[in-house]
Structure 1
Amino acid sequence: MHATAALRNAARTPLIRFLGKRSTPKSVDHTPRVHPASPTGALPDSFATYRAKAQQHGPLGRASFTSGGIGSLSGAALGPVRPAAGEFFDRTELPARFGRLSWTEAEIEAIESGGASMFA
């Protein structure tokens, strides 16, 4: 007999045992409340006013897209992108002292052997 077939046919009993019947509370308060860590300490008037002021990787309002804001110009029209002084986009642009070190033959052998060649 196959073990998987026997397991599939067996009745499943949960390992957790709950005490008593399920019951929901009689009264649950669902009124919105301000989060304790809220910087303003007040709820927004409506979702529309919240969304107009919200920022998530840029403004969320529709007006910013249509009035010459984000997305209204192509990337080429924005001009070249250059890093500021002291900033680099790629590791290869850093000075030589920050470059990658070359591997020695001993290190290559240690990696290929799983470290066993270091103790042999």
Structure 2
Amino acid sequence: MNATKILQQGRQPMIRFLGKRTTPSKIDHTPQVHPASPTHSLPESFASYRQKAQQHGPLNQTNKFSTSHIGASPGSSLGPVEAGKGTFFDRSELPQRFQRMAWSEAEIEAIESGGASLHA
């Protein structure tokens, strides 16, 4: 316990701050355009921003069902979903050379035995 007291008495922080701690007297809180903004302009209002915003699809969709939360409308109401040209939803839709190959009996036996059947 005495060793701890001795260690704490000589401790100095490694960071040294210059000058007295003060807060700025005037801070500008007006909205500013982000430097990386593609349009370099602020939206006129939040309502106009919401009309153009997209998050997992358009935000301004109206439907006969309640659209107040995710999953409120069925997926069938979005219309048919088709893969674009050159894209596939499942590996079985790919050309034969890219599909999964069937396992042979020897491969299955090697996996089940942990590889011991290959050396026996």
Q: TM-score, normalised by structure 2?
A: 0.49
